[in-house]
Structure 1
Amino acid sequence: MGSDTSTSPRFFVLEEGIHGSRYDADLDKAEPINRADAPRCPRCDGFVGMLKWLPPYRVKLELHGEELGDFIETSSYEFLISERFAEAFRAEGLTGLEGFHPVEVLQVRRMTKKKREPLTSPSYFVVSTRFGPAAVDPVLNQMRISAPPTCPECRLTRVDAIHGFVLEPGSWRGEDIFRPRGLVGDLVVSERFKDFAGRHGLTNMVLTPTEQYMWDPSHLGPAPLSKT
């Protein structure tokens, strides 16, 4: 891709660890599950998120790996982080997360048949990310979309495949974790967050440089290069 990565800030897509890993786990929200309205774009009124999870925050976990990690997704908009993750994030002044509501873990069910030591669960908090100002560059990306976005604020459109993307210069305001306009279903983090996660050994995370990130369930391939 034609971006100058030597001088531009670097960003990474944050995903949960791969299935079959040491920290592989599934989450079910326990009843009662209360919801609030999904957030909307302030300009076009289109949805820019899913229904918001409200208290009580109660979950049941299924562990397919060996131990529970520091990061467990509930959706692209809300996820669980361990107490040590939460404390370090706030202590070091990183930005982009909100909520930090304690979660009650009702049950942890080990799904492997091998005998293990008794399992303990970390204390977890549920956090969410805001729809922020950072935006996917409309030119310097390799995304296949069904139609050009009609709203210049949220830039919502149907994305069919991603073969790397970069952020529009000047749109990022310093957040360490955010959902970019044009790809509101993806979590993107700063290089400072990547360094933070590495120093603290935070688990169950995969961080991929945005320009190398691939999502192509229908095997469509990269978007054709624009002719100028």
Structure 2
Amino acid sequence: MPKERILVVEDERDILELITYNLNREGYTVHGIASGEEALRAIPDFKPNLVVLDWMLPGMDGLEVCKFIKQNGKTAEVSVIILTAKDAEADIVTGLEIGADDYLTKPFSPRVLLARIKALLRRNRKTQADSDAVLNVDAMVIHPGKREVRVDDRRIKLTNMEFRILHFLASHQGWVYTRSQIVSAARGEDYAVTDRSVDAIIVGLRKKLGPEAHYIETVRGVGYRFKE
């Protein structure tokens, strides 16, 4: 099996070397660079499976790089973990809304980062294996293999987190899930998230789904469910 490729974008040399060393030791193919502009130049040739991305980069910051990755059809499936000293709830929501797959605040444990990376790559492999499990709900078609949602044959552009939440809920129609259960299913149990960040993602998802938004129901005092 080919080694999975990880691009590390970090302008602090000590942190870059620390991450690169630990990932190399785990057998990954790693490429480390120090700026957002370099990242965009490197991605087409390196073709990473995952990007570890510092938020506070010189020039183009990490959020801009993440947005570019997630809005480009050729790279939208690349997982992104954002590293940052910012830990305010609003910052976490911002990172999730633009499509980041995970969020780790500095200072961080290399072992925790490695666990997050392994969890994301495992989930990506599972998603690829389940690529034929297409869900049809009235005018909505959810295709996990293509990471695509269509309503009346019109493609709906979703962030990775929006897609994962929609796919999870639609796969368990009628069941009610708390916010923490939804995030655990979409990201992994060790992911820290607030109620507001989940609510913000649901609001954005409903707006994009338009007339099909009514399928995502709010259950007061509990969480959300996908209507049968």
Tell me, yes or no, whether TM beats 0.5: no
Which one has a bigger Cα radius of gyration?
Answer: 1
Structure ranking higher in helix proportion = 2
Structure ranking higher in strand proportion = 1
- Identify which of structures 1 and 2 has the higher relative contact order when contacts are C-alpha pairs closer than 8 Å and 6+ apart: 1
Q: TM-score, normalised by structure 1?
A: 0.31
Q: TM-score, normalised by structure 2?
A: 0.31
